[in-house]
Structure 1
Amino acid sequence: MTQNLDTLTQSLLDAAKKAGADAADAMAVSGTSVSIDVRGGALEQAERSEGTDIGLRVFIGQRQANVSASDTRPETMTAMAERAVAMAREAPEDPHIGLADADQLAKSWNLDALELSDPTPEPDPMVLQQDAQEAEAAALAVDGVTQVSGATAAYGQRMIHLATSNGFSGGYARTDRATSCVAIAGTGTGMERDYDGDSRIFQADLRDAADIGKSAGQRAVERLGARKPKTGTYPVLFDERISSSLIGHLLSAINGGAIARGSSWLMEALGQQVLPAHLSVTEDPHRARVPASRPFDAEGLPTQKRQIVENGLLTGWTLDLATGRKLGMPSTGNAARGVSAPPSPSVWNIALTQGEQTRDDLIRDMGTGLIVTSMIGATINPNTGDYSRGAAGVWVENGQIQHAVNECTIAGNLRDMLMRIVPANDARLHLSRVVPSLLIEGMTLAGD
């Protein structure tokens, strides 16, 4: 399959050159996915898909165009190239676009060390169904759970290949195996729902399906009897399930696209303190068995470990070639793309420095406040960092959990919030975003 995708991308480049392109890059993605849903102990839905998608980007001077297809016949690739060249001739000029210089391209990488693909065979659909059934049964066995709205087990495998007209060619395989369950507790208007799930590259690493179902059921039951909290200013603990969203807002604000557009609340923050001085955010695209790992980026540049925030100080932006050129900086090797669009900047695996206290320690010390376990909606001002989100979770008084909470809003300013975070030590190390539970003092809470 690797050779096939290599051949497809080279054929696209040949077609682009024949059609009159000055330069081009091509991408091919071939994949298989299987998903099994159960309800009431019986199979509810089974899906399987297989296919190959191809994409071609061509350059005519400083103009570019991108086309894609799921048809890999030679005549289709010829038509794609001709259409792309015609589109590029009509596109506006952009002085910042273009392929990497030859000396910037990745020359070698160690796929075995990344362990992106599980060598074990694709699971039989009956094995997936059994996992989903076990998760559902475990959720229903939790006292207080009245139904399971869905239990799913899935498997996927993809092959990806990228080639450029100036000499780069590389590809890799990626697999994933997942189980999830959504449980509902209570009846009538008092019903509450929650979920749990796990996704891994290697099937052997996946959590037990019964454990996932039991956890989903327990989480749903814990939400029963929820009520609004009193409006005021309180400490808020962002549970590890959702704490990565806070660091995600920081990562979005330092994305080269936002910086180049001038629409970021961290526009003037380069070299400034954005986190407490003892905390850092590290990006490492070479972690083994982690979904966001990759040997090279979508422009053929080598990926590398970097400190996005070091000892509280913001060290740089997240850049692909085009945004780097706009800002007068080199790419950080963070280009991402699909077959249907040009590259754009994106982060790979990131990790926030963990704290020394446990989650229970932070709950004990927070006094009276809110533990947020889920959020809905978002109003984030990209220019000021003003933050407002609907939240649900549990109420804490005198360091003790009291009751479930829903229908409230938490608000603050991200620049101020991030400077006050206190991390626990409970981050899950296998995730692509390793962020522990985070406590923030003095947040505005709107309820009753």
Structure 2
Amino acid sequence: MSDPRQRALDAQSLIADLIKAARKAGADAADAVYHESRSLSAGVRMGQPEDVESSESRDLGLRVLVGRQQACVSTTDFAPAALQELVGRAVSMARAAPEDKYCGLPEPDQLAAQPVELDLFDGIELEMPQLLERAKAVEAAALAVPGITNSEGGSAGRGFGLVAYANTAGFSGSGFSGSHSISAAAIAGKDTGMERDWDYEAKTHFSDLPDPASIGRKAGERAVRRLNPVKLDSAAMPIVYDPRVATSLVGHLAGAINGASVARGTSFLKDRLGQMVFASGITITDDPLRRRGFRSRWFDMEGVARQTRALIEDGRLTTWLLDCATARQLGMASTGHASRGTTSPPSPAPTNIYLNPGRQTPAELMADIKLGLYVTELIGMGVNGVTGDYSRGAAGFVIRDGQLAEPVSEITIAGNLKEMFPNLTPANDLEFRFGTDAPTLRIDGMTVAGR
């Protein structure tokens, strides 16, 4: 691959020329975004290659504003004639579009000024033979676990992404990142008594990935442990969320404080800004500047400077997630959370969001639970963002006298996020694995619907 820094500069030059052409064609303001991605992956099953995939894409999007009217167009054709046609079409569409009093670019003093080095690309791009070798190794480790009878496969992959953004308010910037991943899914048992489980890791740097054997072994051990699940009687009891599923609760918060939902009045937290939403001591952080973070970038998709901020601080809701349009609608300022593809205007989205760890170990968190549920898998999307009502299919393990006991499946856990959040207690085992992260979490007072 050619130098990614030069590719980023070339992309910035391309979209800078595009927004200049838009102004010349009659736009009052304009911005443009360029996306480039490349990935390679290999999958095996029972030791044999099952699928290999390679993909490359480049596309760009142009948004033009004529007064308070705006239009977005996109293309994958970078020929000069095609780009000139794109500009003319965008301006014509904007002139015919309805007015939107909230649309527009950020003010110059909101724009990011200096790039921040976030160490998102290590320059390592494994080729297909190496990926196949890693996929075979992770699956072999899963199959070697006693009790494993079959496999859904092992896989390994790597990727590269580049984004550039510029606007007529005076911003031009770019960023690029890499990714490396490995996974395995194993099956234990026979006939109608089979159970499956998995493990997965992804990092921006290859050196940060665990050994394939450890991933496969964990997938196999998890599957075996789920054999012979029991039913659980319906009751109210403490629920403990494994970190793999605890992240979903952070995601529900992010959705509830998204400025678009708040502006529409469709969030169960729409009237809670500045109020206690969690218990004292709970902090949830959004960190777009974390080194080697999957969603790290020093500017948002309107060119606004990004900063690390506590969304929940000592239990209190401190902010909404805002882009420029939702900020204007709510009479506030952008928080630098604009996200954007190439086909539509910006909208708010979190970056690297995580619930800060507590002080207790997971074992200490469960020690006083006489009867409870440890959840390792959630099924379905039974969450109402307007009311906060929560109902999810679940599987996991019974907690008896503070210890994990027999596996359990085919149950439903229910509550309301407005009551669940204040009763949430985190353990101290936070690991940064994905874009949304959380430690083990305990919530008292939820309902389990079983037999």
Smaller-chain TM-score bracket: over 0.9
Written as runs of structure 1 = structure 2, the 5 A alignment for 1:61-210 is 61-111=67-117, 114-119=118-123, 121-210=124-213
Structural mapping, 1:388-427, within 5 Å? 388-427=391-430
Say if 2:202 and 2:434, in contact at 8 Å, map to a contact too. no
- Shift in Å, 1:350: 2.2
CA distance in 2, matches of 1:33, 1:356: 39
| Mapping of residues 53-68 of structure 1, within 5 Å | 53-68=59-74
Q: Aligned partners of 1:191 and 1:434: how far apart in 2? A: 30
Query: Structure 2 matches for 1:139-288, cutoff 5 A?
Result: 139-288=142-291
Equivalent position SS for 1:82: helix
CA distance in 1 between counterparts of 2:66 and 2:231 reads 59
Post-superposition Cα deviations, 1:173-223, rounded to whole Å, max 9, x if no partner, equal 110000011111112221111110100000110111111111111111111
User: Partners of 1:272 and 1:3 in 2: how far apart?
Assistant: 44
SS at match of 1:374: strand
- Relative to structure 2, which stretch is displaced further, 160-169 or 170-179? 160-169
- 1:51 is matched with 57
319-328 or 392-401, which moves further after superposition?
392-401
Cα distance in structure 2, aligned partners of 1:234 and 1:426: 23
Q: How many Å separate the matches in 1 of 2:43 and 2:90?
A: 40
Between the aligned partners of 2:207 and 2:356, the Cα distance in structure 1 is 28
C-alpha separation between the residues in 2 aligned to 1:41 and 1:295?
A: 42
Name which of 34, 38, 44 aligns with 1:32: 38
Query: Counterparts of 2:377 and 2:287 in 1: how far apart (Å)?
Result: 27
Larger mean CA deviation between 422-431 and 130-139 belongs to 422-431
Q: Render the CA deviation track for 1:240-285: whole Å, top value 9, x for unaligned.
A: 1110111211121111000000001101111111111111112221
Q: Would you say the 8 A contact 2:201–2:433 is kept in 1?
A: no
CA distance in 2, matches of 1:73, 1:9: 13
Residue 11 (structure 1) shift: 2.7
Q: TM-score, normalised by structure 2?
A: 0.96
2:337 is aligned with 1:334: yes
Give the 3-state SS of the residue equivalent to 2:367 in structure 1. Answer: helix
Paired with 2:446 and 2:362, the residues of 1 have a C-alpha distance of 18
Which is worse superposed, 312-321 or 82-91?
Answer: 82-91
Q: Provide the C-alpha distance between the structure 2 equivalents of 1:46 and 1:351, rounded to a whole number of angstroms.
A: 33
Aligned to 1:15: 21
Contact residue 289 and residue 430 of structure 1 kept, 8 A:
no
Paired letter, 1:199: A
Alignment of 1:262-411 (within 5 A): 262-411=265-414
Aligned AA (1:348): T
Q: Which stretch of structure 1 is more off in the superposition, 253-262 or 8-17?
A: 8-17
Gaps in structure 1 of 5+ consecutive residues: none
Cα distance in 2 between the residues matched to 1:266 and 1:49: 40
Give 3-state SS (helix, strand or coil) of 1:15's partner: helix
In the TM superposition, what is the alpha-carbon distance from 1:430 to its structure 2 partner? 4.8
Distance in 1, Cα, partners of 2:399 & 2:109: 57
Residue 400 of structure 1: how far off its partner (Å): 2.5
- Asked whether the equivalents of residues 35 and 152 of structure 1 are also in contact (C-alpha less than 8 Å), the reply is yes
Deviation at 1:161, TM superposition (A): 0.7
Q: Quick check: 2:250–2:437 contact (8 Å CA) kept in 1?
A: no
Amino acid at match of 1:72: F
Deviates more, 1:310-319 or 1:322-331: 310-319
Write out per-residue CA displacement over residues 359-400 of structure 1, whole angstroms, 9 at most, x where no aligned residue. 112232222111000101022222221111000001122222
Is 2:184–2:219's contact at 8 Å kept on the other side of the alignment? yes
User: C-alpha distance in 1, partners of 2:37/2:310?
Assistant: 33
- 1:390 and 1:257 mapped to 2: Cα distance? 28
Deviation at 1:28, TM superposition (A): 1.0
Q: State, as a whole percentage, how many aligned pairs show the same letter.
A: 46
More divergent stretch after superposition (398-407 vs 312-321):
398-407
What's the CA shift string for 1:92-127, capped at 9, x where partnerless? 11100001122221111222xx111113x3112111
Q: How many residues align?
A: 445
Bigger Cα displacement from structure 2, 284-293 vs 359-368:
359-368
SS of the aligned residue for 1:329 comes to coil
Deviations 1:7-49 (A, max 9, x none): 2212321332233222111111122110111112122111112
Retained in 2: the 8 A contact 1:134–1:209?
yes
Write the distance in 2 (CA, Å) between the matches of 1:153 and 1:24.
Answer: 40
Deviation by residue 1:43-100 (Cα, 9 ceiling, x = unmatched): 2111112231111111111111111111111111112112212221222111000011
Task: Give me the whole-angstrom Cα distance separating, in 1, the residues matched to 2:194 and 2:94.
Answer: 55
Deviation at 1:231, TM superposition (A): 0.6
Q: Is residue 39–residue 150 contact of structure 1 (8 Å, CA) maintained in 2?
A: yes
SS in 2 for 1:317: coil
On the 8 A contact 1:15/1:77 being kept in 2, the answer is no
| Aligned-partner Cα distance in 2 for 1:300–1:377 | 36
Name stretches of at least 5 consecutive residues in structure 2 with no aligned partner. Answer: 1-6
For 2:389 and 2:368, how far apart are their aligned partners in 1? 27
> Are 1:42 and 2:48 matched, yes or no?
yes
In 1, the alpha carbon distance for the partners of 2:108 and 2:149 equals 61
Q: Which portions of structure 1, spanning 4 or more consecutive aligned residues, are displaced by more than 4 angstroms?
A: none
Paired with 1:445 and 1:24, the residues of 2 have a C-alpha distance of 52
Separation in structure 2 between the aligned mates of residue 65 and residue 102 of structure 1, nearest angstrom: 22
CA distance in 1, matches of 2:79, 2:299: 28
